[in-house]
Amino acid sequence: MNIMLFHSTYGLRPAVHAAAARLRAAGHEVYVPDLFDGRTFETVEEGMAFKDEVGKDELLRRAVLAAAPYSERGLVYAGFSFGASTAQTLALGDEKARGLLLLHGTSDIAENASVDELPVQLHVADPDPFETHDWLNSWYLQMQRTGADVEVYRYPGAGHLFTDPDLPDYDAAAAELTWKVALGFLATL
């Protein structure tokens, strides 16, 4: 499987490279674009400020350019938090998308979005300050209306970016379960 993996607002950190290595070890081809041009951040606030400074449109343009050379092959789009939001936007706009793996994040869904049974898997903390219960319920229904085949996995007590061992949110048990389930999902695509 060809996977386009997008980083969070912390930037392209070691945890993203470790995730890519884990996916490669499972036999996948993984592309890890750097949408922040080498910048990484110590806090979510710094990363969000940089993201806002660069702008949503420019970051989406960078993501589209990163995916374009590989999209004909049928990509699985994946990402962490902000990167999951980016992955979702690209997957819903790419008729050749093979799947969507969302880790710690979702995004708004265009009213005219439509897919043909796109497999989607979301892994999210419960509760998550960025992905509230009301938001996730609405998101789930909207994704189903697009034609996506959606699975949601919630991890009680985990922090927002619970798969990143270098952050305070890290939860080893939740992270390992996430990767076990995610690798099983990818194996079915």
**97: number of CA atoms within 13 Å, CB side?**
27
Would you place residue 162 in the very low, low, confident or very high pLDDT band (cuts 50, 70, 90)? Answer: very high
**pLDDT for position 4:** 98
**Which pLDDT tens digit goes with each residue over 10-58?**
999 999 999 999 999 999 999 999 999 999 999 999 999 999 999 999 9
**Which pLDDT tens digit goes with each residue over 55-90?**
999 999 999 999 999 999 999 999 999 999 999 999
**Model-level pTM?**
0.97
**pLDDT for position 92:** 97
**Which pLDDT tens digit goes with each residue over 126-153?**
999 999 999 999 999 999 999 999 999 9
